[in-house]
Structure 1
Amino acid sequence: MKRVSLLILLLCCVIGTSAQSRWVSQDNPAAPMSERLQNKDYEVSLLQDGQWQSQNVYGALTSNYDRHHANHRDFVGVERFVMGFVMFTDEFQKPIKVRVTRKGEPFESAEIRPTSYRIKPRRIDPNTVEFTLRSPSQKVSVEFDGDRSSNIFIIPDLPSERPVGGDIIYFGRGEHEVGELWLKSGQTLYLDAGAVVYGQLRAEGQSDIKVAGRGIFCGSRADHGERTRNVLVNMEYCKNVEFEGVLFRDSPSWTLRFLECEGVHIDNVKQIGWMINSDGVDICNTRHVVIENCFFRNYDDNLSLKAFNWWSGIGTTYDVVMRDCVLWADCAHNFLVGPEAVNHRIYDVKFQNSIILESREATDPWRGAMAVMISDEGEFENILFENIEVEDIRGGVVMSFDYGKYNSRGRAARNITVRNINYRGTQAPRSVIKGWDSEHTIENITLENIRFNGKRITEKNIDEYLEINQFVKGLKVGR
């Protein structure tokens, strides 16, 4: 395996002839996949240019809530499942046929999710299915015999052009190791298709940073110790930060953390995380954020909005939009506002046009595929959940807006709109909307076109689907 140290990268920077550095790690095509990066359970091929072409099948650890949650202190991962994933690029001038073979015993059933894509697999032999992808936005999970722990993701993308000019850190095909990599203002970190980069990313007080490409940034060689692990990507006091196209794998803790940042754009990012606290994106004391076209599978929260007390005194988190995403939380929330607020406000938040594939946690106060945890003396307001498809989540409630018990209860929650939510499944308990007492209420809740298995929630049947107490004020149930 070719190892690229930070020392070598720094030397490249020093001896470069241009005014701006260009750190380059060229292709390393002969490097073998590390054992932990492989998946040996599947074979995948694509019909491209008239020929079936075999694809590289990566592996990633996953955690099953029923089996692993009580033993979530397994920080090494030896007791976990291994799923597969395939990443490929194509112009998609015409649909792409895909064949997936699961090795071993013949399967009895196969399903492709999201089911709303209406992609039906065709069985072509006892172990193989064939199906068609019509768009690079159709990133899917292929599941045999109902197995969501050892499944396989097929992740298509449009090709991405290598950046030219400017301050570029480039990694080509193969495995590379960078340790802790600090990004500077104006830099672009580019991971080309087939690149696997091991390390952790950091930036503090920088601006105009971009991380892009079609490669993998991997945390599996970072410290995973319970008391010594750290976040995979940490951005603090930064402005105008963009992440595009990269897949983040095996974070030892939070995957992407933004603390006191302004202007964050996360587009077409993929994630697979298996650990407790493996949040996808944590927006902390940060504003003007857009997260879109992403495909996340994490054991913990996929998106969490927080506000902390920090030395600068800037505590609010606001103007956050997450849209057009596919989200899978093996345990926790997919959309979470709170609970950390520390006497601050979190407001002007929109979750739109997305699909939820899984959420398992149903324990008070951590429940809710879509949740507002009103805690920590915080105020939470102007929050929209709109056009959300919720598939057959296995145990977690669809939504929970509740005063939590994290540190202390919150001060107030108001102006929450839930519109065009479609749940299709049989396993979710009743959802929850609950105030704390007469002084700590939830005010101005609007529910519009909420459907559970095709049945619209009305004022007459609402108790069948939601647990609501007397401390919810101004509840409106529309058509």
Structure 2
Amino acid sequence: MESEKHYTRKEMIRRLALLFAGTTLSRTSYAKPPLTGHRLTINGMPVALHACRVSAVPFNQVWPGYQRPLDQTELATFATWDMQSEVTVSLTSAVPIRKVAVRPLAAGIKPEINGPTIQFNVPHPMDLVVEINGYHHAIHLFAQPPVTIPLAQRKACTYYFGPGVHEIGKKELSSGDSVYLERGAVVHGCFHAINAHGVSISGRGIIDVSKLERGKGVGAIRLEGCSDCKVSGVILRDPDTWCLSLFGCSDIHIDGVKLIGLWRYNADGIDVCNSQRVVVSNCFVRSFDDGLVVKGKKGAYQHLPVDDVRFENCVVWCDWGKAFEIGAETVAPAIEKIRFHNCDIIRTSYAAMDILHGDGAAIRDIRFENIRIEMDEVHYQPKLQTQPQEVYADEGKGSYVPYLLEARITKTDYSQEERFGTLDRLTVADISISRQPGADMPASVFQGANDRAMIRDVQIHRWKFNGEPLNTLVAARITTDPFIESIQMI
């Protein structure tokens, strides 16, 4: 047993450091000390950097019954603080600095480098990623607005977690339950609600699922058949499967939630399945599978449509898969009025935006608007692992470029229905792609299935590549097939 072991003083200090950094020492936890050699201050005040495990290579597989080996992963760090006016961020690097990027690039933050120190100003709450010498071991910074809920009201919640470490396993929530995590709280476990109304999960603490094996948890948060619920402000780390998911829900608001440390197989970010009137706003998602997702799932809620779902003001980093995804499961009467608006994709793997339609739903009125996509000059190709000992092989020296946009009506391994569906009224407007000068423009493809399963009425408005307008389908590298009816580039 753990208590029967005797540790050296050095090992004991290391373990205590991990504990107070909010990490755990379970089978799926962090095998090495966090990168605490970096030091962070906000307006001169020290702020703690926490460890998180992330994917090092885009190598995934459909759940095979065993967990992903740690040698496909790496450690990164994150920090969080509250602010209401401009602050000065100072980050002292533990490694020699060759180059620095602060993403999203659209935030316009220009760091100053003075020896080992990186300094820049943050004008208002936002989510940033600092990359030192490339994207490995990135530093994720979450500047959040101040908490306005009085302390007495926070403590009056059904489940209140103050600073410190808490063990809850899988916590089942009922109608009217409220959960609050103070900054400094690390809650090991997950939250689940079925047929509940008026549930609230909020705060500034960390929900950490690293101690739960696949199938023992529900990701970090799962709501099924729930209504009028809100999730806000919390940090979700290391889920056993999809991180934050909704099934058959209505009137849900997810705001300011940060998803980090997703590295296990099929670790989607936020999945909205057969649900109505959902808003996902101001969130940061670094996923190891699709990032922001809409699905129609076969099962108890397949009779319900996906209707009126908005993703807005989010920052997404997708380590494997698609940053924005509708599909591949599309079992629903309809999937309609879906908006991805004013979002940044700072990295993606297979595609930035994707509609993969393999079932019978009527998909219609879909809008991708005001989306900024950042791409490097070199990308590592996403691959599926076929056996346990297989090693990822890609030097990153090839010509692979992720798709910008895919819209396909086609049968897939996930298809549950024989019939094909349709896709009508797709608008992709105000899209800005940033890539190193001289690198290729990412391609897009529209593919119908047959003359009864077509893509109709596609509007392409105001696309730019490195600031230059793209005025033709050829310039935008858009390909189509005979089962596309009306595609216009304006």
Output one character per residue of 1:332-369: Cα deviation in whole Å (capped at 9) or x when no partner: 112111121225311111110111111112xxxxxx21
**What is the 5 A alignment of 1:30-45?**
32-33=20-21, 34=23, 36=29, 39-45=34-40
Distance 2:91 2:36 in 1: 10
Distance 1:349 1:166, change over 3 A: same
1:256 aligns with 2:244: yes
Displacement of 1:255 in angstroms is 0.8
1:151 aligns with 2:138: yes
**What is the 5 A alignment of 1:411-430?**
411-425=421-435, 426=439, 429-430=442-443
Code of the aligned partner of 1:476 = Q
Name which of structure 1's ranges 371-380 and 304-313 shifts more when overlaid on structure 2.
Answer: 304-313
Q: 1:399 matched to which residue of 2?
A: 405
Distance 1:405 1:344 in 2: 17
CA contact (8 A) 2:441 2:476 kept: no
Of 231, 244, 249 in structure 2, the residue corresponding to residue 243 of structure 1 is 231
Q: 1:278 matched to which residue of 2?
A: 267
Distance 1:416 1:115 in 2: 27
CA contact (8 A) 2:427 2:459 kept: yes
Displacement of 1:251 in angstroms is 0.8
Distance 2:18 2:49 in 1: 16
CA contact (8 A) 1:43 1:55 kept: no
Distance 1:149 1:211, change over 3 A: same
Code of the aligned partner of 1:418 = V
1:432 aligns with 2:420: no
CA contact (8 A) 1:42 1:84 kept: no
Distance 1:45 1:221, change over 3 A: same
Displacement of 1:392 in angstroms is 1.3
CA contact (8 A) 1:255 1:281 kept: yes
Distance 1:290 1:416 in 2: 20
SS at match of 2:199: strand
SS at match of 1:277: coil
Displacement of 1:436 in angstroms is 2.0
SS at match of 1:462: coil
Distance 1:170 1:44 in 2: 30
Distance 1:343 1:116, change over 3 A: closer
**What is the 5 A alignment of 1:356-375?**
356-361=345-350, 368-375=351-358
**What is the 5 A alignment of 1:153-302?**
153-160=140-147, 161=149, 162=151, 163-164=153-154, 167-224=157-214, 230-272=218-260, 273-302=262-291
Identity of aligned residues (%): 26
Q: 1:90 matched to which residue of 2?
A: 83
Output one character per residue of 1:222-251: Cα deviation in whole Å (capped at 9) or x when no partner: 113xx7664332211111110110010111
Distance 2:354 2:372 in 1: 15
Output one character per residue of 1:372-397: Cα deviation in whole Å (capped at 9) or x when no partner: 11112222111011111111153321
Output one character per residue of 1:303-336: Cα deviation in whole Å (capped at 9) or x when no partner: 2111133346633111101111111111111211
CA contact (8 A) 1:392 1:427 kept: no
Displacement of 1:122 in angstroms is 1.1
Output one character per residue of 1:394-421: Cα deviation in whole Å (capped at 9) or x when no partner: 3321111112332267321110011100
Distance 1:128 1:404, change over 3 A: farther
**What is the 5 A alignment of 1:87-126?**
87-92=80-85, 95-104=86-95, 106-125=96-115
Give the superposed CA RMSD: 2.4
Code of the aligned partner of 2:56 = N
Distance 1:248 1:177 in 2: 15
Distance 2:160 2:188 in 1: 14
Q: 1:474 matched to which residue of 2?
A: 486
Name which of structure 1's ranges 155-164 and 76-85 shifts more when overlaid on structure 2.
Answer: 155-164
Code of the aligned partner of 2:123 = R
Distance 2:305 2:450 in 1: 25
CA contact (8 A) 1:446 1:477 kept: yes
CA contact (8 A) 1:320 1:349 kept: yes
CA contact (8 A) 1:261 1:286 kept: yes
1:75 aligns with 2:67: yes
Distance 1:243 1:47 in 2: 27
CA contact (8 A) 1:419 1:447 kept: yes
SS at match of 2:106: helix
Distance 2:155 2:53 in 1: 37
Distance 2:217 2:67 in 1: 10
Of 45, 53, 71 in structure 2, the residue corresponding to residue 61 of structure 1 is 53
Displacement of 1:477 in angstroms is 1.1
Number of residue-to-residue matches in the alignment: 431
Distance 2:40 2:34 in 1: 14
Code of the aligned partner of 1:182 = E
Distance 2:217 2:199 in 1: 25
Code of the aligned partner of 2:406 = S
SS at match of 2:488: strand
SS at match of 1:401: strand
Distance 2:114 2:99 in 1: 13
SS at match of 2:229: strand
SS at match of 1:369: strand
Displacement of 1:209 in angstroms is 0.7
Displacement of 1:168 in angstroms is 2.6
Displacement of 1:165 in angstroms is 7.4
| Runs of 5+ unmatched residues, structure 1 | 1-28, 362-367
- With normalisation by structure 2, the TM-score equals 0.83
